[in-house]
Chains A and B, each alone.
Chain A
Amino acid sequence: MKRRFLAVLILLATLPSALAAGEGAPKPFERGSWQKLLHAHAGHPTLVHFWGVTCGPCKVELPQLGRFMKDHPGIDVVTISADLVPNLPEATRSMLDNAGLASAENWIFGDGFAERLRFEIDPAWQGDIPRTMLIARDGTITTIEGSAEIADLNKWSDAQAAATR
């Protein structure tokens, strides 16, 4: 009896978030998320891309990143929507889908105190997007302000592959 209640309970409790967000919805990026993210990808070459649905240059760059991810399965691709316009999960997800980034590890700023979130990532970052951080296997971070040149990403990716040989 108890167990059946529990099963119904779990089903009901998980239903709304599944309905509201859907599978593959961006995860809320909160205080402490950055350190968790770095820890989870430690030892793997990782590209972290900060963007936003209202940012013009981001709209151009996102599909290029989608292609980059497809061409470089050895690189962990992470996107973080740092736009502060509320109620964005739907629009964010649809732009990621269209850019071929649905299967990337996707996050969205989930704390209105964006200054603090940005400070945890890079105290010098004032919120300009797009912004890309390339994290090498040894943890070295290269930051690209503004739209990244795909040729530069390819070069970095090749260097990462070479480093394993």
Chain B
Amino acid sequence: MISRKPAARILLAAAMLAAFPNLCKAQMSHQHASEAACEETVLRCASKVTPAFAPDGTLWLAWMAGGQISVASSKNQGKSFSAPVQVTRDRLNLDWGPDARPKLAIDAKGDIALAFSIFRDQAFNGQVLTTRSTDGGRSFDPPKPITANNESQRFEAIGFDPAGAVFAVWLDKRNRVPAQQRGEKYDGAGLFFASSNDNGATYSDARMAADNTCECCRLALAFDGAGHPVVVFRNIFDGGVRDHAIVTFTDLATSGELHRVSRDDWQIAACPHHGPSLTISPEGTYHVTWYTNGKARKGLFYARSRDGGKTFSDPLPIGEPSRSPSRPQVIAGPQGLVMAWKEFDGQKTSINLMTSHDDGATWSKPTVAADTTDSSDHPLLVTDGRQTYLSWMTKAEGYHFQVIEGEP
């Protein structure tokens, strides 16, 4: 009799576990398998957070949490945020890959273009969806595919050009099936692009800038002084070498010549899940950071081009090689260039920063800006034209947005 009461209680708990196996699973993934701290759609539960400043200085965040995309804005550089607005409604299988995240861009009127990828089937074929808000982010159109083609697409990047058109670029597998039908081997994916003159409500027909590029790394997009899109991506050069390439577009509908950023000689038939970063300084210099594990060099590197991407400086190694440096970002801010990347010492992930005040000729010593002892998003850099900020989502501490103080 004495044992009955506790036994009954345990029995109840066991019965509950049996009846709600997902409860148990959700708890488990919450604590261990998930990169997120919680399962709701709020910012605190996000695994990926993307910041963007509007021309009026409003900071916007788009994030992935609880299987949905949401946005919120801040008028005080991230000290407080507006009530979140959920962009997606349906239960979508969002692309949670290490290099995937929602992208957003805001024009001078405050209209918002937003894009993200989903897995649209059980075979993990991707689809790029876009939406827009024309009421200052209070509501978003139902997301729709960026292209009518139904082959796998992933890793979109979007931005407003100076004239107010949205330019979008992504990786697209549409050439795989025709190649296979011709009995040819098809490697990687095509780099496709389109533009929109109605803030992302409709996009032009997709065109290809390059075929057989690496299919699983994020793209880097920036606009040069004349407003031409510039895209850096991991290409597949002859012999299956996955080194970086750059294209400067002639206009929103015309791709340009492909140039090589660096000869790292990384021959690998794999998904590195580790894309590049690009910024263009007021001097017109292209600044690129990337990861490679090539025969010529291994690790994170920086190089710059002062001739519009035709030739690049010798790659400069970034970070402490014994601490697995990763996810390099570079941005041209009002006080010069800032670079951020992750390092991991076996226990702790730290965000390291370097700055340059001579357009990338020399760099400061690295400093640690933040750290965490659990999973975290990539460090991202963003500027409002007055200051440069670090944006970083961590599972343990939540969202982190801080001013990067200029070096003396």
Interface set of A (CB-CB < 8 Å, partner B)? 1-2, 5, 8-9, 12-13, 15-17, 19-20, 28, 30, 52-58, 83-87, 91, 94, 109-116, 119, 123-124, 126-131, 145-147
Contact = CB atoms under 8 A, between A and B. Distances in A.
Given A55-B216, A127-B98, A115 B375 contact: yes
Contact of B270 (A17, A54, A91, A129): A129
B269 A16 contact: no
B273 A127 contact: yes
A23 B238 CA distance: 44
Interface in B1-48: 3-4, 7, 10-11, 14-15, 17-18, 20-22, 24-25, 29, 32-36
Contacts of A83: 97
Range class of the B interface residue count = 35 or more
A5 to B, nearest CB: 5
A112 B97 contact: no
Contacts of B324: 115, 119, 123-124, 126
Given A115-B344, A128-B271, A123 B375 contact: no
B374 A112 contact: yes
A9 B124 contact: no
Interface string B364-405: 000000000011000000000000000000010000000000
A24 B124 CA distance: 22
A101 B36 CA distance: 30
B284 interface: no
Contacts of B36: 112
B33 A130 contact: no
B49 to A, nearest CB: 15
Give the residue among A9, A16, A124, A130 with the most B Cβ atoms within 10 A.
A16
A123 B298 CA distance: 13
B98 A91 contact: no
B320 to A, nearest CB: 12
B33 A126 contact: no
B96 interface: yes
B7 A2 contact: yes
A84 B18 contact: no
Interface in B307-349: 322, 324, 326, 342, 344, 346-347, 349
